Amino acid sequence: MMEWESWSAFWDMGGNAWFVWGSYSITAMLIVLELVLVLRRRKETVLRLLRLRRAAPYATGGQRMNEEMF
């Protein structure tokens, strides 16, 4: 490797492991969390709206009505 003498030197970050890896790990976790939340929201929205639609398939313009039925 170009910059590092060994993998352990890489992980040690010149004695700054907590500061460097603490930054990168929290960032990575937040990005994964955001992606999971966004994809889950999509699934939940589709399922919920489908349920509402099937409960009152002929109701038009009845957003309040639909929601109150549940």
Partner 1 sequence: MTTDTLNRAERSRSLFRFAAPQVFYPIAGRLAPWFAGIAAVLTVVGLYIGFFVAPTDFQQGEVYRVIFIHVPAAWMSMLIYLVMAFWAAVGLVMNTRLSFMMSQALAPTGAMFCFVALWTGALWGKPTWGTYWVWDARLTSQLLLLFLYLGFIALTRAIEDSRRADRAGAIIALVGAINVPIIYFSVQWWNTLHQGASVSLTKAPSMATTMLSGMLIMALAAWAYTFAVAFWRVRSLILERERHTDWVGAELEAEAKRQ
Task: Single out the residue of 5, 6, 7, 18 in contact with partner 1 (rule: CB under 8 A).
Answer: 18
Answer whether 52's CB lies under 8 Å from 66's CB: yes
Least CB distance to partner 1 at residue 65 (A): 11
Is residue 58 at the binding interface for partner 1, with CB under 8 A as the rule?
Answer: no
Distance CA 70, CA 67 (A): 6
Token pair listed for 66? 């639909």
Q: Are 67 and 53 in contact (CB under 8 A)?
A: no
Q: Which residues bind partner 1 (CB under 8 A)?
A: 1-4, 10, 13-14, 16, 18-20, 22-24, 26-27, 30-31, 34-35, 38-39, 41-42, 45-46, 49-50, 52-53, 60-63
